[in-house]
Chains A and B, each alone.
Chain A
Amino acid sequence: MTVEAHGLTKVYSGKKAVNDLSFTLEPGTVTGFLGPNGSGKSTTMRLMLGLDHGEGQTTWEGKALTAHPHVTKVVGAHLDARFFNPNRSARNHLRMMASEANISDQRVDEVISLVGLESVAKKRPKTFSLGMGQRLGLAGAILAQPKVLMLDEPANGLDPQSIQWLRDFLKFYASQGNVVFVSSHLLSEMQLMAEHLVVISRGSLIADENMAAFVGRSTRNDVLVRALDRDRLLAVLLAADVAAVAEGDDGVAVAGVDSAQVGRIAFVNQVQLIELSPRTASLEEAFLELTSGGQEYQTGGHS
């Protein structure tokens, strides 16, 4: 199933929270949804699900969500770890959610086991931690084995083991031909999990591309080259019109060219190298660089 969002727009009190957002979610892929706080990620998800009213439309395999007979088999959404009645047991919460597509209690018990909530399944979730709430929300989202999983910050409150489990699970779920659309502030996690990114800032689209292309756009991608005669290396690189700056005692950071070109220049000029390493920006670095100034709520400096 392919999900297409066209021209999603949401205006709050004259201010555009989501501004003409269009993107496509492909099956078999974990798509990360990134943006600074207040950039409109949650609003976008709600617009896609029809929970919020705005302009634009989202089609699910070419049809509106309302045109599908069993919506829970199309999309499973987990938008908040606290969306449950604290006085209804976790199992009954899921049994209630299972009603739409008449899913069996056996499947309910299966997902409870999958997310590791067996021991508290019959307890009222009012004492659940944030992580347990996340697990319950995730259980609800995957209950009907939907073609699309839409998760808003599902890793918040999870311990490292659970985060690793979530990452593996979502990758596996996508590999089954499903769409996985997940927002997270844990960028290191996102880098390990997502193959495709939709990045927004102040409600507008910044990027809709694969992870490598997005990270590749960062100016922090460079090549570290170390030589016995660092000054000579720097001189030949500058002479070749390459952006290079000294780094450390014997290194040079080279931007704008790949390591093969740097190696060739050194070889031609007979400079002996002791290291030649391409350095790729992390997702976090690329994200911060490409969304700089796009924060809705800026923090102050160090006091």
Chain B
Amino acid sequence: MAGILRYEWRRITTIRSTWILLGLAVIFSIGFSWLAMAGLKSATSTPDSGLAPNDLLITEIVGQVVVANFIVLVLFATVAAQAFGQEYRNGTIRVTLTAFPKRLPVVLGKVIVCLGLLTAVFAVCVAAPYLLLSSSDVVNSDISVSTMLGFFLRSWLYFCGYMLVVIALTLITRILALAVIIPLLMAVVFENLASALGSRWLPWIDNVLPFASGSRFVAGGEDLLRNGLVFGAWVLVLSVVGVVLFQKRDA
């Protein structure tokens, strides 16, 4: 297992695009937070906006500008999809699987290293806006430690789940771009359509949509466990399908 972890670490860190994408994710996170802060400052200083300073919780803003921000998520997702997508595109999957013929450890090694690196950068992407916003007087940062930690934990779980979905889709489709685009379309287009159109005939549809459930899970509130389980179940099912196909198919 140590071999595949070393291999994957070198794979992911010796590609310039990894650092460019992750650097952009940090820049966008901070940039969007700054824009949100500026926007809130402007709004709260306008009497007829109906918005007063400290109306909004800091976790809501960070959640919107980082965790639920699909520009940031796509940057991370591209790095995650590269774990297998680049390997299939360049044929190096055969080099990898010649050196590591047991395929399950390959998946585990890639997931561990990929999520490890992405988690470290994601932490920066969440912490930097949090510090930036908490230094301002436009959002309510007076929250308990447990609330803050709960928010961070749920954000991280959602983030990991999203990345696992992307990795699973790369294993299923073997196409990097599809693995990045499908969750995005699902979350931004399909789920909204399904929710809007299906609510009349299928009132329960909103409760089983993966990313809608995931977003509600990050936001906290009621049905936290159920939302988390729905999102987790989607992640699990897609991951199992991806791993089984990876094991069964020719390299």
Contacts and interface: CB of A to CB of B under 8 A. Distances in A.
A88 B250 CA distance: 25
Interface residues of A, number: 33
Nearest to B102: A66
Interface stretch (B24-32, B93-101, B127-135): B93-101
A46 interface: yes
Given A52-B251, A83-B94, A86-B90, A97 B99 contact: yes
Interface stretch (B9-17, B58-66, B163-171, B219-227): B9-17
How big is the B interface, by class? Answer: 20 to 34
A99 B6 contact: yes
What is the interface of chain A mostly: helix, strand, loop, or mixed? loop
A85 B86 contact: yes
B91 A99 contact: no
A95 B91 contact: no
B99 A83 contact: no
Q: Which of B4, B86, B100, B250 gathers the greatest number of chain A CB atoms within 10 Å?
A: B250
Nearest to B12: A96
A25 B17 CA distance: 42
Contacts of B250: 46, 51-53
Interface string B81-110: 000001000111011011111100000000
A71 B86 contact: no
Contacts of B17: 87
Contacts of A77: 98
B248 interface: yes
B234 interface: no
Contacts, number: 81
B34 interface: no
Contacts of A85: 15, 86, 90, 92
B7 interface: yes
A91 to B, nearest CB: 9
B3 interface: yes
B10 A96 contact: yes
Given A52-B250, A53-B248, A83-B92, A92 B14 contact: yes
Interface in B106-148: none
B98 A51 contact: yes
B97 A80 contact: no
B90 A46 contact: no
Interface in B7-53: 7, 9-11, 14-17
Interface in A174-225: none
B9 to A, nearest CB: 8
B97 A50 contact: yes
A87 B92 contact: no
A65 B90 CA distance: 24
A165 B20 CA distance: 40
Q: Which of B86, B91, B102, B249 has the most CB of A within 10 A?
A: B91
Contacts of A34: none
A6 interface: no
A65 B101 contact: yes
A51 B3 contact: no
Nearest to B16: A87
A167 interface: no
B10 A100 contact: no
A238 to B, nearest CB: 58
Contacts of B101: 49-50, 65-66, 71
Nearest to A53: B250
Contacts of A100: 3-4, 6-7, 99-100
Nearest to A68: B101
A100 B8 CA distance: 10
B92 A46 contact: no
Contacts of B100: 71, 100
Which of A51, A77, A82, A96 lies at the interface centre, i.e. has the most chain B CB atoms within 10 A of its CB? A96
A93 B14 CA distance: 8
Given A87-B17, A96-B7, A96-B11, A72 B99 contact: yes
B14 A95 contact: yes
Given A87-B16, A99-B6, A71 B98 contact: yes
A28 B10 CA distance: 34
B102 A97 contact: no
A140 interface: yes
B50 to A, nearest CB: 50
A84 interface: yes
21 contacts: A49-B97, A49-B98, A50-B101, A51-B250, A51-B251, A53-B248, A53-B249, A53-B250, A66-B102, A79-B94, A82-B90, A82-B91, A84-B92, A84-B95, A88-B14, A92-B10, A96-B10, A96-B11, A99-B7, A99-B9, A102-B3
Top 6 nearest A-B pairs by Cβ distance? A99-B6, A92-B14, A99-B7, A51-B251, A96-B10, A83-B91
Given A83-B95, A87-B17, 14 more contacts: A50-B97, A51-B250, A71-B99, A83-B91, A83-B92, A85-B15, A92-B14, A93-B14, A96-B10, A96-B11, A99-B6, A99-B7, A99-B9, A99-B10
Interface of A: 46, 49-53, 65-66, 70-72, 75, 77, 79-80, 82-89, 92-93, 95-97, 99-102, 140
